[in-house]
Amino acid sequence: MDRTDRTPGREAAVALIADVEAALAEATSPVPAPVPTAYRDETPVPAVGTALPVVQPGRAPMSQRATDASALMLAAGAGTLMAGTGAGAALWALGGVDPLVLALAVGAPVAVIAALSRLVRRAGQAASEAAPVTHHHHYSGPVDARQEHHTTAPVTRGFFVRTTMRTGR
């Protein structure tokens, strides 16, 4: 007579115990050394080689001054783009406004600023003409009172212009 217990749960428990023991044996076994997946060549690279130069992607090689000028031009272009977009959006938003009202609203501040600057300039001229500057000369010792008058005339010649002052006596 066969004395083995054949209950369905017992066979599943025995299989589970066997799997746990196999997993524990695998976890406690020594780990093999890792296999390298890359190789680094440690030989020194020569300073000058025999290969021809190759153009690299990106900006072309240029001097620091040219690089700075290029960056400045790119920044100015971006600023102009933003200012133009803002002006275009403002004009699009003001599309339904009467053109005469728009011209008066834009031109009035400019006219006021121009009138004020002219008023200040004329007031400064009137003040300088009303009270001329007086010169007082106080000398101690022998004085040579000769006066020499020289006229100067600027001379500008050439395509790339350089102005020189010529004195005539």
Predicted confidence (pLDDT) per residue in 108-127, tens digit: 999 999 999 999 999 988 88
Average pLDDT over residues 23-40: 82
> Residue 167's beta-bridge partner residues?
152
Burial bucket for residue 158 (CB in 10 Å: 0-12, 13-18, 19+): exposed
Q: For 5-72, give the DSSP string.
A: ---HHHHHHHHHHHHHHHHHHHHHSPPPPPPP------SPPPSS-SSPP-PPSSSPP--HHHHHHHHH
Q: Which amino acid is at 23?
A: A
Please state, as a whole number, how many other Cβ atoms lie within 10 Å of the Cβ of residue 94: 14
- pLDDT exceeding 70 applies to what percent of the chain? 92
Average pLDDT over residues 3-25: 81
Output phi, psi for 139, to 5 deg. Answer: -115, 150
Alpha-carbon span 28 to 19, nearest angstrom: 14
The more confidently predicted of residues 73 and 169 is 73
pLDDT digits (tens, 9 = 90+) for 123-138: 988 887 877 777 787 8
Q: Is the pLDDT of residue 5 over 70?
A: no
Q: In which band, very low, low, confident or very high, does the pLDDT at 69 lie, cut at 50, 70 and 90?
A: very high
pLDDT digits (tens, 9 = 90+) for 152-167: 777 777 777 777 777 6
* Average pLDDT taken over every residue of the chain: 82
What global pTM score does this model have? 0.29
